[in-house]
Amino acid sequence: MSGRSVAIVGGASTKFGVRPSTWSELAQEAGAALFRAVPELRAEDVDSLFVGAAEPERFAFQSHVAPLAAEQMGLRPTRILQRTELACASGQSAIRSAYAAIAAGLSDLAVAVGVEKMNLPSVAEANSAMGCVMDRPWDGPHGATAPPFFAMVAQRHMLEYGTTEEQLAAVSEKNHRFANSNPNAQFFDKTFPRDKLLRLPMVAPPLRLGDCSSMTDGAAAVVLTSEEYAHRYTDRPAWVRGTGQYSDFHNLANAGSLTDWVGLRHAGRRALDQAGISVRDLDLAELHDCFTISEIIEYEALGLCAPGEGGAFAADGRGAVGGDLVVNPRGGLLGCGHPLGATGISQALEVFQQFSNAVPAARQAPDPEWALVHNLSGSANVHSVMVYQRGGAA
């Protein structure tokens, strides 16, 4: 890896859910939480701000959100201020951009914040916002949004490999159980046993309500800095050791196989190779479970199991505490909700907190050293992966 080493040295999140708060109020709340969580952080030292926000124009009728977020958070960036947009991966894009800037020496101390306000007075209007993530004039008029697309993915996986609704429900049950230990999760106080999940109404067959992440308001922020300054903020930095991204189509006609996520195989390989580790070295992973079938295919594409075995991997609890590695201990998108721009930041924050053994025992990975964070965006046409290593004394 060239350039300076870069680490996440702190962070904070708002409560995720249906919030009686505006976009700006969520940004303020994340800023306030960040300065409380990282007492050594001084606003005047933050030279750059990266704002992950997928659709503020659609959801909040607000453009030019980078300076808006800076003002809300009490920051005056002097080196790089920008918004990053990559739909569901907008938050990870903010972190990746901050990492690149610091590694290159263009920034010394950056904040990556993700903000999304998704619950609108009109649910249909919010659904339209989700619809224009697709190739709007071609796929949009047919009613393409994420649920029917991922439903087709699930249908093909069931057809090709015999994956079952019960296996899908196993993913949802696990992630909702983890969310019960995360007060910031949208479904912190709701339980979803498997039999209940299997009785929930269909949204897009074969996917039921419990197979789908929800429309969520929320914000989260992390601080990144270089090896020279990391010790000022924490003795357990989460070092960025690898990144990978891959995009190979946009229109649904060009998706190719729905069940072999080539893009994730490439992005995962690149990130792990850069870190110099194998997928077996991972102690925990935050995988993009926008739908239950996504997590199942992600197990396969990352090489945690063979193609077609993701359903069994889930049902056998290999992604739970005590399994091969801990997957989505935060509660995942299914349990936390999915405020598009905030999700990737919240996942990275979980990694930082896991490395400090600072999460409740019910979801703590045992003494984790290596973690992977994955986001897909749109119709799984882009995959973004980052690999982190715990710093400080073991």
Partner 1 sequence: MTDERARRRGGASLAPTKPESPRTAPSPAERTSVARPGEKRPFLLDFFPLETARDTRLSKFYDRLREGRLSTTRCPKDGVLLWPPRTACPKCHSEDLEWVDLPERGRVYAFSAVLAGAPLGMENEVPFPVGLVDLDGVALRLFGRIEGAPWTSLRVGQAVRVEAYDLNDGRVFYRFRVAP
Of 205 and 317, CB closest to partner 1: 205
Shortest distance, position 212 Cβ to partner 1, whole Å: 8
Q: In Å, how far from its chain's centre is CA 59?
A: 19
DSSP type of residue 54: S
Of 151 and 197, CB closest to partner 1: 151
Interacting residue ranges for partner 1, rule: CB under 8 A: 122-125, 127-128, 130-132, 135-145, 147-148, 151-153, 155-156, 159, 201-207, 251-255, 258
Q: Which of 386, 214, 368 is CA-nearest to residue 287?
A: 386
- φ/ψ (deg, to 5) at 308: 95, -15
CA separation, residue 11 to residues 95, 111, 234, 347 (Å): 12, 9, 11, 11
Calpha distance 184→337 (Å, rounded): 10
Shortest distance, position 64 Cβ to partner 1, whole Å: 17
DSSP type of residue 366: S
Q: Are 366 and 247 in contact (CB under 8 A)?
A: no
Shortest distance, position 328 Cβ to partner 1, whole Å: 23
Shortest distance, position 135 Cβ to partner 1, whole Å: 7
Would you call 13 helix, strand, or coil by DSSP? strand
Beta bridge partners of 244: 385
Of 57 and 316, CB closest to partner 1: 57
Residues annotated as part of the active site: 88, 338
Amino acid at 291: F
Is the bond preceding residue 148 a cis peptide, omega within 30 degrees?
Answer: no
Which residue shows structure tokens 């101390």? 109
State the DSSP H helix or E strand holding residue 295, giving kind and residue range, or none if neither.
helix 292-301
Shortest distance, position 295 Cβ to partner 1, whole Å: 19
Shortest distance, position 131 Cβ to partner 1, whole Å: 4
Beta bridge partners of 88: 86
Of 18 and 123, CB closest to partner 1: 123
Of 27 and 252, CB closest to partner 1: 252
Of 67 and 307, CB closest to partner 1: 307
Q: Which of 8, 4, 10 is CA-nearest to residue 387?
A: 8
The region that residue 3 occupies, defined by phi over 0 for left and psi between -120 and 50 for alpha, beta otherwise, is left
Shortest distance, position 27 Cβ to partner 1, whole Å: 24
Tokens of 292: 């239950």
Q: Are 337 and 17 in contact (CB under 8 A)?
A: yes
Of 135 and 350, CB closest to partner 1: 135
Q: Which of 4, 26, 3, 22 is CA-nearest to residue 13?
A: 26
